Amino acid sequence: MHPRTTVSHRPARSHRRSSSHRRPPAAVRRPGIYLGVAAAGALVVNLVIGAGPAAQAEAVSTESVSVARQLGLEATPAPEDVTRELEPLAEIAASRSAREDAEAAALMTQAAADQAVLDQRRVEAEAAAAAAAAAQAQVEAEAEAEAAARRAAEEAAAARRAAEEAAAAERAAERAAEQPTAAARPAPKAPAAAVAQAAGSVAATVRARIRNTAGAINPRAQAAADAVVSNVPGAGSIALGGTRASAADPGGHPSGLAVDYMVMTNAALGDAIAAYHVAHWNELGVDYVIWQQRMLSSPGGSWKQMENRGGVTANHFDHVHVNYR
């Protein structure tokens, strides 16, 4: 009986060995032994046959390869692919480089954004400072303009007051020269008596200076005013008002057909100017006369009392108003 087929009298084991402890097949366990036996056999055959060394070497090589191929083995192991093993390292390196590049680009972008914010803040601060300076300059300019306007208005008012005071003083001096004492001063003349004194010529030797604010005065009114200042004593030294758009009589001052003889407090001069117009009604082209809150519409008519308009000037106590045709 073959030794390997001898049955052992040892009691059989009740459990099987696990697959991890099994012995590998003979073809796998001893490939080198088989390869060596095959090579030795081939060498003996070549020696018996008597082939040449080159043929023997080729035969040994071919036989060895053939036997190895039959056993499912390769004579030389295939070289390992090192490139495949290095690919993960290359990918890691590339990924790290890309990450570093991305981080550097992000840092540069953030720095640029921060600089843009700083530049924007600087521009806004400069613009705000310029706007504040402009506003301050405008406020100062407006304040200076207002101050200059106030000074000009005060100076103009002072000049008017001075002119009025000078005119009043001049008129007072003239009255004092004409009437030396209050005791010798006659009582105000009635219009009928003043007419007799005002009788005279209507020839004009002096051109009246009339203050117009709404265009030139009508030539008939200018000629009548020239005759008044030339023939009524004291009329040449008073102010005369002509055209003005603010008057309520459309046929009078706005149209240039009315003249205001500003006698102020000189009632005697006002009586004389009114009497002169009554005496030369048609020659001067008179339409009506208003004096001391009374109105006369014809040379032979009577003076009519007017309503109270609330003031000295509005009631014509400081000037004679004459409308011309």
Residues 272-291: tens digit of each pLDDT: 999 999 999 999 999 999 99
pLDDT, average across residues 116-144: 93
CB 321 within 8 A of CB 290: yes
Closest CA to 233 of 193, 260, 265, 206: 206
Our separate counts of H helices and E strands in the chain read 8, 7
pLDDT of residue 184: 39
pLDDT of residue 5: 47
Quote the distance between the C-alpha of residue 50 and its chain's center. 118
pLDDT of residue 239: 95
Round to whole Å and give the CA distance between 289 and 39. 165
Residue 319 half-sphere exposure toward CB, CA atoms < 13 A = 16
pLDDT of residue 202: 87
CB 188 within 8 A of CB 268: yes
Quote the distance between the C-alpha of residue 169 and its chain's center. 57
pLDDT tens digit sequence for 25-80 = 554 556 667 677 777 777 766 665 555 555 555 554 555 556 556 666 555 555 66
**Looking at per-residue confidence, does 215 or 224 come out higher?**
224
Round to whole Å and give the CA distance between 122 and 62. 89
CB 209 within 8 A of CB 240: yes
